[in-house]
Amino acid sequence: MSRAGLDKDPREVAEMFDGVAQGYDRTNSVMTLGFDRRWREWSRRVLDARPGERVLDLAAGTAVSTVEYAASGAWCVAADFSLGMLLGGAHRPVPKVAADALHLPFADDSFDAVTVSFGLRNFNDTEAALREMCRVVRPGGRLVVCEVSTPTFRPFRFVYMRYLLKVLPVVARFVSSNPAAYQYLAESMRTWPDQRALAETVARAGWEDVAWLNLTGGVVALHKGTKPSGNRK
The footprint of ligand SAM (CB under 6 A) covers 10, 13-14, 17, 28, 59-61, 64-65, 80-82, 85, 100-102, 117-119, 122-123
**Does 57 carry a binding-site annotation?**
no
Interior CA angle at 211 toward 206 and 213, to 5°?
140
- The CB density around residue 65, as the number of other CB atoms within 10 Å, is 28
Q: Is 61 left (phi over 0), alpha (psi -120 to 50) or beta?
A: left
Q: Which residue is nearest to ligand SAM (CB)?
A: 61
Question: For residues 61 and 225, which CB has a smaller minimum distance to ligand SAM in the complex?
Answer: 61
Supply the minimum distance, in Å, between the C-beta of residue 218 and ligand SAM.
Answer: 18
Provide the residue type at 30 as one letter: V
Residues 142, 148, 149, 154, CA torsion sign: positive
Query: How many Cα neighbours within 13 Å face the side chain of 45?
Result: 9
Sheet arrangement for strand 111-117: 96-98, 75-80, 54-58, 111-117, 137-148, 220-226, 208-215
**Does 109 carry a binding-site annotation?**
no
**Does 80 carry a binding-site annotation?**
yes
Supply the minimum distance, in Å, between the C-beta of residue 231 and ligand SAM.
Answer: 32
**Does 115 carry a binding-site annotation?**
no
Question: For residues 86 and 199, which CB has a smaller minimum distance to ligand SAM in the complex?
Answer: 86
Supply the minimum distance, in Å, between the C-beta of residue 125 and ligand SAM.
Answer: 9
Question: For residues 102 and 161, which CB has a smaller minimum distance to ligand SAM in the complex?
Answer: 102
**Does 72 carry a binding-site annotation?**
no
Question: For residues 58 and 199, which CB has a smaller minimum distance to ligand SAM in the complex?
Answer: 58
